[in-house]
Amino acid sequence: MRIEYDIKLGFKDVMIRPKRSTLKSRSEVNLEREFKFLHSPKIWKGIPVMAANMDTVGTFEMAQALSNEGLFTAIHKHYTIEEWRSFLSFVSSNIYSSIAVSTGISQKDSEKLKNIISNFPDLQFICIDVANGYSEHFANYVKETRTKYPDKVIIAGNVVTGEMVEELLLSGADIVKVGIGPGSVCTTRVKTGVGYPQLSAIIECADAAHGLGGQIISDGGCTSPGDVAKAFGAGADFVMLGGMLSGHDESGGEIIEKNGASFKRFYGMSSETAMKKHVGGVANYRASEGKTVEVLYKGNVDSTLQDILGGLRSTCTYVGASRLKELTKRTTFIRVNEQENRVYNT
């Protein structure tokens, strides 16, 4: 047994220090980024905020709404090939740079991925997603996927430490997804005791990825536009959101009316709800590691996007970053024991 005594930080432990700036208005801030990738020859341009590949977030409807604003969606892996076909038959053809097809690492997942890619070869992004990206089997799966799809942009995760980011990039990933346990409907830290505070995970993993020419996605734990800004400030190239994009018209599922208020169901992809829906129940050798909650219905996602992107632009003006790309360089975090004043919060 060993103990690391360095303090690891989450979003709630810091604030961003304001800096002298020459920017006059938030409208002068450019949130678009352009990325070249470590393995894939493709170039991506857009606002690097993405919807999580959860079936109550990363839906086709969400992809359409987000791509209109230049944002990205990791489409959840449970759509059938027919559903893909009908979606791709009516959306405009520039959707391909705004979506990833998600997959797990079973034989069945691999066959489904092959089927989807061979039917829709214009798809450019593959998101290989497992709860625990530390197994040798996972790295081997990333290698095989790179060999099969040399031109695709491969996202792989989740991990939280630099050495594993390097291993996945060297195995063929272009972008590594970072986050174990911070998610709003995740119970991994409670069920297993395993995790890593998200801000420190981003700082350490970004450093490792950028050293090799790769990128990272900060996945999970953002509860406000300020957290999204902190994730970018810490070095994330992309920020993935689950809970913040749940509860909208585009999030799938029915509206639930209760005591005069409207809600939508939102659940973790390892929750009992998800496992019952997609694989017929929780296998007897594992525990569910996700919650099922009802979140207030938030209407159309456009106003939420405006809130997130408006907040991010404002962060950039506070530190004098005219482009999102400059935010990390201009970020100084201060450690704090307080966040917002909650005196009028119920």
> Binding to ligand 5GP by residue 73, rule CB under 6 A?
no
Tell me the number of residues near ligand 5GP by CB under 6 A: 25
Q: Quick one: 194 or 336, whose CB is closer to ligand 5GP?
A: 194
> Binding to ligand 5GP by residue 101, rule CB under 6 A?
no
User: In the set 29, 130, 156, 222, which binds ligand 5GP (CB under 6 A)?
Assistant: 222
* Contact positions with ligand 5GP (CB under 6 A) in 290-329: 290
Q: Quick one: 46 or 183, whose CB is closer to ligand 5GP?
A: 183
Q: Least distance from C-beta 157 to ligand 5GP, angstroms?
A: 8
Which residue in 194, 195, 201, 193 sits closest to 217, CA to CA?
201
For residues 216 and 174, give the distance between their C-alpha atoms in angstroms, rounded to a whole number: 9
> Binding to ligand 5GP by residue 251, rule CB under 6 A?
no
> Binding to ligand 5GP by residue 186, rule CB under 6 A?
yes
User: CB-hemisphere CA count at 13 Å for 99?
Assistant: 30
Q: Which one of the spans 6-14, 163-171, 250-258, 269-277 is the region binding ligand 5GP (CB under 6 A)?
A: 269-277
Q: Specify whether 222 is catalytic.
A: no
The backbone torsions φ and ψ at residue 293, rounded to the nearest 5 degrees and listed phi first, read -135, 165
For residues 94 and 68, give the distance between their C-alpha atoms in angstroms, rounded to a whole number: 10
For residues 111 and 264, give the distance between their C-alpha atoms in angstroms, rounded to a whole number: 32
Q: Quick one: 43 or 296, whose CB is closer to ligand 5GP?
A: 296
H runs (alpha helix) in the chain: 60-68, 81-90, 107-119, 136-148, 162-170, 188-192, 198-212, 225-234, 272-279, 301-319
Q: Which residues bind ligand 5GP (CB under 6 A)?
A: 52, 54, 131, 158, 179, 183-186, 188, 219-222, 240-244, 268-271, 289-290
Catalytic machinery residues: 186
